[in-house]
């Protein structure tokens, strides 16, 4: 069975509405272009903390999802520890498909 969140990320990538990799994700957040940041559950604690702090400061939604390999695969790249959705509608759709805990910890 296909993962609906990863399918949505794949569509967002094809539409050119993602920024992936730590540098591009950070840039999207700081420029106010990111509506949702997704960090791999197996990312380093340092990476998780950095994005948690950054998203809290810049008031951007954050979720931890999947692993680096699956995130990368979903957007047609090698493994990715982080990515940003730069489209409000894609971000809403992903949050709707993944409900448990959208966080701004």
pLDDT tens figures, 4-14: 999 999 999 99
Residue 32: the pLDDT is 97
Q: What are the b/e assignments for 3-34, b being 16+ CB within 10 Å?
A: eebbebbbebbeeebbbbbbebbbebbeeeeb
Locate the domains of the chain by residue range: 4-97
The CATH number of the structural domain formed by 4-97 is 3.30.1330.30
User: What is the pTM for the complete model shown?
Assistant: 0.91
Q: Measured at the alpha carbon of residue 91, what is the angle toward residues 88 and 93, in degrees to the nearest 5?
A: 110
Which of these, 33, 1, 21, lies nearest to 71 by C-alpha position? 21
For residue range 33-55, what is the model confidence (pLDDT) as tens digits?
A: 999 999 999 999 999 999 999 99
pLDDT band at 74 (very low <50, low <70, confident <90, very high): very high
């Amino acid at each position: 069975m296909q993962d609906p969140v990863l399918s949505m990320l794949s569509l967002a990538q094809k539409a050119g509405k993602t920024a992936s990799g730590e540098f591009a994700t950070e840039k999207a957040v700081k420029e106010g272009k990111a509506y949702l940041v997704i960090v791999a559950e197996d990312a380093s604690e340092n990476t998780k903390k950095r994005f948690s702090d950054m998203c809290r400061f810049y008031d951007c939604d954050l979720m931890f999802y999947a692993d680096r390999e699956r995130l990368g695969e979903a957007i047609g790249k090698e493994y990715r520890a982080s990515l940003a959705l730069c489209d409000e509608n894609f971000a809403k759709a992903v949050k709707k498909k993944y409900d448990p805990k959208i966080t701004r910890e």
